[in-house]
Structure 1
Amino acid sequence: MRLDLIIVGRVQGVGYRDFTKKKADSLSITGSVKNMRDGTVLVTAQGGNEAMGNFLKWCYKGPKGAIVRKIDKVKGQTEDFNGFIVIY
């Protein structure tokens, strides 16, 4: 299962990308995370259904200091990702 997520709220400047990578790695989820110019965070995540469910729950919470107002989700076509990376 692959999801493209746009995380909206106070999600930049609070460590969201680095904590997202740690969570993804712990769940064996592949993909990427990056800050967008409009203040959102874009996450591309791929993994098994249970892992993705746990990951999505975490994304709604985020790290300490984050305030997630909403997450826009789009199912995407699965790809061959090599791990989970932070795009700077």
Structure 2
Amino acid sequence: MKRVHVLVAGRVQGVWYRASAARKASELGLTGWVRNLPDGRVELVAEGDAESVDALLAWCRRGPPLARVTGLDVREMAVTGEFTEFAVLRDV
């Protein structure tokens, strides 16, 4: 099991990044959340099988078709098992 906290920079708001990330995470069987930040980045926390988390990170580097990802800050965290689904949260 693996848990990551990710900050995604670039043109990632207004391009369906959150919804697409949530869909991809759910397809991979991951739990966690994704939200927009006031500074234009997207923040997400994902937890699950290490291989699936790595697959989501690979997707995050590209994002959906209209996104232009310029940076990804990834930090591994302790697995908590606190989530039951992958959710899109309201903006901060």
Instruction: State the TM-score, normalizing by the size of structure 2.
Output: 0.93
Runs of 4+ in 1 over 4 A off after TM superposition: none
Structure 1 position 47, deviation (Å): 1.1
What is aligned with 1:7? 8
Structure 1 position 70, deviation (Å): 0.8
What is aligned with 1:81? 83
Structure 1 position 41, deviation (Å): 0.2
Q: How many residues align?
A: 88
What is aligned with 1:70? 71
What is aligned with 1:60? 61
What are the superposed Cα offsets for residues 29-78 of structure 1, whole Å, 9 maximum, x if unpaired? 10000000000000100111111111110000100110000100111121
CA distance in 2, matches of 1:13, 1:35: 10
Q: Unaligned stretches of 5+ in structure 2?
A: none
CA distance in 2, matches of 1:76, 1:49: 12
Instruction: State the TM-score, normalizing by the size of structure 1.
Output: 0.97
Q: Unaligned stretches of 5+ in structure 1?
A: none
Over the aligned positions, Cα root-mean-square deviation in angstroms equals 0.7
SS at match of 1:54: helix
What is aligned with 1:46? 47
